[in-house]
Amino acid sequence: MKKILAIGLMTGIILVMVAGSVLAGNTYDPVINDRIAEQQKRIDEGIASGQLSSAEADILQDNLNWIKAEETRLKADGKLTPKERARLNKMLDRNSNMIYKKKHNPIRRLCPRR
């Protein structure tokens, strides 16, 4: 009898914990956070290596800052829906492509900085 009561109590506690986390909303998304950090690293490396001009880096940094602000705004209600995650990922995809194109700009390679 004590075993059944203990199992029931543990099950109840687990259910309350799961329900609480669902109701509280889940705004932490390690994939998005990792992608933002990786893009910041790529921009910083492009500046250090000379692959990005200061004007190019400013544009890319502005885009990334805007994405960060949008993420904060979307998380303000305490949840990040799958549609909002998809939107952030699409913005990060576009910015990632832009970083690649600006770092691999053939004109920059023909006319390196002095």
Q: pLDDT tens-digit profile of 26-56?
A: 788 899 999 999 999 999 999 999 999 999 9
Residue 82 lies in a domain: yes
Q: Which domain holds residue 91?
A: 27-110
Residue 31 lies in a domain: yes
What band does 19 get if pLDDT is binned at 50, 70 and 90? low
Q: What are phi and psi of 57, to 5 degrees?
A: -65, -40
Rounded to whole angstroms, the Cα distance separating 59 from 34 reads 21
Residue 64 lies in a domain: yes
Predicted structure pTM score: 0.70
Q: What are phi and psi of 50, to 5 degrees?
A: 85, 5
Q: pLDDT tens-digit profile of 101-114?
A: 999 987 655 555 55
